[in-house]
Structure 1
Amino acid sequence: MASNLILRGGNWYVRLSVPADVRPVLNRREYTASLKTGSKQEAQRLKLPFLQAWRNEIAEARGLTPEREEKQRERAYLASQAIQAYLNDSVRLSALGKTKEANEASFELVKELDAFDLDYEAVLPLVQKYQGGDIADWVGFQKELTELLQGQVVTAINPVNQQEVGQILKDPSHYRSKSPITITRLNDFEDYQRRRGVVAKTIDTQLSRLKKLKAWLEENQRELNHESIEAYLDTLDCATKTKKNQLFAGNSFWKWAIKKDKTFKQQYQNQANPFEKHDFEEIRGVRKKERKAFTVADIQKLYESAKGRNKRQNLADLIMLGAYTGARIEELCQLKVTDVVSEDGVDCFYISNGKNENAERIVPVHKELKPLVKRLAKDANGEFLISASCRNKYGKRSDSLSKQFGRLKRDLGYGPDHVFHSLRKSFITFLQNNDIPGLTIASIVGHETGTITFDVYSAGPNAKQKLKAISTLKIL
């Protein structure tokens, strides 16, 4: 059986046992198929497509099991609430002798449960049977209608756990989410964030953090409350900043769920946001690690080393561009030939795709960069100045070059406090040491000044003023 083959009546059969966790989904204990051959060697070849197809089905079923089961329980809860609300209303109307209104209420209930593909025709005989009856008749009608609707809902849901769904339909108080951070809600939250235009990497990071929290809540059978979140944060062996990011992800999810998820709102609308009001002990005297600037000698060392390596001319060009523009690595990798423009007679880079709205700016081309820009524009075929092997899944062109730079600086003995962004810090430091005004430096690198006068009312230094500032640099 280790080979998944079994001989029956002279023919070989392929078999595959279905794992216990997905048997309720696939509704079978094993797969079996005749290979219609008596040759074991041929059977070994013929079994492969069957096994592949079956394993794909198992993988798909296993991936859907948690989401499907939770969604079914949620649907049963909503249906149960609708039925119970109808019963409460119809009892009140019947007690007042308002049989017509109670009759209408039954049809309103059926409409509310329309998402479950209920059979309207099955309800009509019940209405006709009890129409015009006294209070006892209405009690009978309520009982029969409830049983009928519950049966139809079960059929429509086709639950993985039929007993649990049945209990929820009879009494919504039986509904207990293993964790309110369900797979269905995470998927809906992801769609909502993408429609809002949240950066893909931020969404993925939030989802990753929420899934880890979900797993911890379920494993420890904890409720989603302030005490649980505090306990969870205590289990994390990470920096305070990372814990705050965990809270930010949870807070975003909570606010979305309270506003957009009906079931979640019903359960938690009277509870305080568990991701707020957490205190972190700050250790005095410990300074936050900051990136260090490169010296001129450092930059020259990096540039020459990159030039001397096989197939690393792109990296050398990127280092030179960074040294003389102070631009971020992705900003440089997004520059196209058409982004080399003339402003007041000065050749400039037009940076439009930056980190924020202040990142949109023009940066004069230093005289040392002109031969490089000319060569890059010629080789670019009208596209990006810096060629990159590929984009990562978030569309960043700088990913591979950033990794190349990381390997280069490590090989040269630089630690984690030196990164490509250190070139930006060096650029700003060099200009400051050359007595360039802070307003001019901020305008070149795309920073706010922090004053309304310059950030709101001033157009900033012109291209000639910026060029004069950049021309004071002598690096490579």
Structure 2
Amino acid sequence: MADNLERQGGIYHVRLAVPKDVQPAFGNRRILSKSLGTSNRAEALRLRLPYLAQWKAEFQSAREYDTLSQEDKDAAIHKTQHLARLFDELAQRGTLAALKVKPVDYRKIEGAVMLPASDLADLEALTQAGDAQGIIRFVESSRTQLLNFIMESDKTGVEAQEATDILSGTYKPRSPITKTLLLDFRAYYEKQGKTPKTTDVLIRKVEMFSDFLGKTGSALDFDSVVKYLDQLTDVKGTPLSAKTKKQHIWACNSFWKWACKYSSSWRETYKGTPNPFAEHDLPIVKGESISYKAFSREQVEALYANARTAGDRILANLIALGAYTGCRLEELGRIDRDSITFEDTTPISFAIADAKTKAGIREVPLHSQVVPLVLQLLEKSKDGFLLEGRPLDHSNKYGNRLDAVGKRFGRLKTAVGFNREFVFHSVRKTAITECHQAGGDIATMPALFGHETGLITLDIYSAGPSMEQKSKVIELLDFTFDFT
């Protein structure tokens, strides 16, 4: 609880953990809690201060064996509540307005939430006399006394800074998603075997939401998630698609579930709180791109020819291999001599040992038409890899060797008239579409292209189709590429 508040049944309660060394003085209670009798968060932020100050003073007194009397404790609380009621009454009667108190001064008056009982009569006397400036001076003096009291009882200065911000009207609650929690969450996620890129994307989205909470001073609830999603835009200021917003929800929901399970402080803070990231409706806006499109066979052949004409042989080879294998860009970048299986001296297949999903780890047969190209590339290779790219020790942050040639593909397809709905992954879609439309076995295709079927029989019990079955499907592909 970054702000020591918890909402129970619509009413805010102030809560504070009792230090272990003084718990015996508090009946071995671990948490002190008190209803503030309000559903208004701003009011609760003010009303919590005397309780926190009192409790911290009691902790210190318990350590010094000098416990305050219950009468004094009750008096401090009653004084605060009396003052709050007094200002409410003055506001309702219009007394402050009649005294022509400026709005900025009225906020100062609202900020004074703790006064000695003996001073209340003086304040009421000033009000009755119509001395507006006297009221302001009185409240400013009381405000200073309050801050001094909190500073003395708060060794870290955190509560004192919050009190200063609240009384000046600049306070914004800090995000409960702390850096420490995020570091622990990252460590947990990395242990699950997720790729560095997936982990970074996940953490970044949670950080973005945490920054939003900090900047806006919003509480972590369903409404703040709605506001966060509504303000998400791309670099051009265009609202994000429903699909992208769902990725943000997924990331934050993953953090919420982890924190509720593994963080004791989080469980205590949000005990009984509904998951704020659940049940969000994100209607798809007309015109949003649902998925990347597949090229036609002729379009892939034209892209290959354009790359050859431009003198970019590496890009042309990438297109050809992508078309005849249906592999992802990163998968093609990892094909090396050691991953290829030979029959005598002929390459017949290659293994993908690292993939986005378990289903992506597979053996892929080489199409008979692409074997000559593979032999050419192996003969010319200087590092054993089929396609020229970054050296392993110079690969980008996520170990991708072909990011540069991938960007060249993007420039090529744009130059010949393809829009953002077409990317290199579209070549993979072309290969799968061509196999499907040529009558490829639907039970073999998922294993060939690295997808789960969703069927227990095939995904769990079956060892998968044979290489002969996979080869039969891959041989259905037919492109016209000039490898000379």
Question: Normalising to structure 1: TM-score of the pair?
Answer: 0.62
Q: Work out which of the residue numbers 20, 42, 45 in structure 2 matches 1:82.
A: 20
Q: Deviation per CA, 1:404-447, whole angstroms, max 9, x where unpaired?
A: 11111111111112111111121122223322222233332223
SS at 2:397 equivalent = coil
Distance 1:293 1:83, change over 3 A: same
Q: What does residue range 66-465 of structure 1 map to in structure 2 within 5 Å?
A: 81-89=19-27, 141=65, 159=156, 163=160, 178-236=174-232, 237-281=239-283, 289-310=290-311, 312-342=312-342, 347-381=348-382, 383-389=384-390, 390-465=394-469
SS at 2:19 equivalent = helix
CA contact (8 A) 1:294 1:418 kept: yes
Q: Which runs of 5+ in 1 are unaligned?
A: 1-69, 71-76, 92-136, 145-153, 168-175
CA contact (8 A) 2:22 2:63 kept: no
Question: How high is the sequence identity, in percent, across the aligned residues?
Answer: 35
Question: Would you say how many aligned residue pairs link Structure 1 and Structure 2?
Answer: 339
Distance 1:202 1:442, change over 3 A: closer
Distance 1:229 1:377, change over 3 A: same
SS at 1:141 equivalent = coil
Q: 1:215 Cα deviation (Å)? A: 2.5
CA contact (8 A) 2:289 2:421 kept: no
SS at 1:439 equivalent = coil
Give the aligned residue type for 1:395: G
Which whole-Å CA distance do the structure 1 matches of 2:211 and 2:185 have between them? Answer: 17
Q: Deviation per CA, 1:17-71, whole angstroms, max 9, x where unpaired?
A: xxxxxxxxxxxxxxxxxxxxxxxxxxxxxxxxxxxxxxxxxxxxxxxxxxxxx8x
SS at 1:438 equivalent = coil
Which whole-Å CA distance do the structure 2 matches of 1:187 and 1:249 have between them? Answer: 15
Q: Which runs of 5+ in 2 are unaligned?
A: 3-14, 30-60, 69-150, 165-171, 233-238
Distance 1:343 1:436, change over 3 A: farther
Q: Deviation per CA, 1:230-257, whole angstroms, max 9, x where unpaired?
A: 2322333321222222222222222222
Q: 1:225 Cα deviation (Å)? A: 1.5
Aligned to 1:57: none
Give the aligned residue type for 2:424: F
SS at 1:407 equivalent = helix
Which whole-Å CA distance do the structure 1 matches of 2:280 and 2:477 have between them? Answer: 47
Which whole-Å CA distance do the structure 1 matches of 2:365 and 2:319 have between them? Answer: 17
Which whole-Å CA distance do the structure 2 matches of 1:160 and 1:379 have between them? Answer: 67
Which whole-Å CA distance do the structure 2 matches of 1:288 and 1:428 have between them? Answer: 20
Question: Normalising to structure 2: TM-score of the pair?
Answer: 0.61
CA contact (8 A) 1:337 1:380 kept: no
Q: Deviation per CA, 1:361-411, whole angstroms, max 9, x where unpaired?
A: 222222222222112222334632212124221222232222111111111
Which whole-Å CA distance do the structure 2 matches of 1:278 and 1:315 have between them? Answer: 42
Distance 1:193 1:436, change over 3 A: closer
SS at 2:280 equivalent = coil
Give the aligned residue type for 1:368: Q
Q: CA RMSD in A?
A: 3.7
Q: Deviation per CA, 1:143-169, whole angstroms, max 9, x where unpaired?
A: 59xxxxxxxxx99x98465945999xx
Give the aligned residue type for 1:306: A
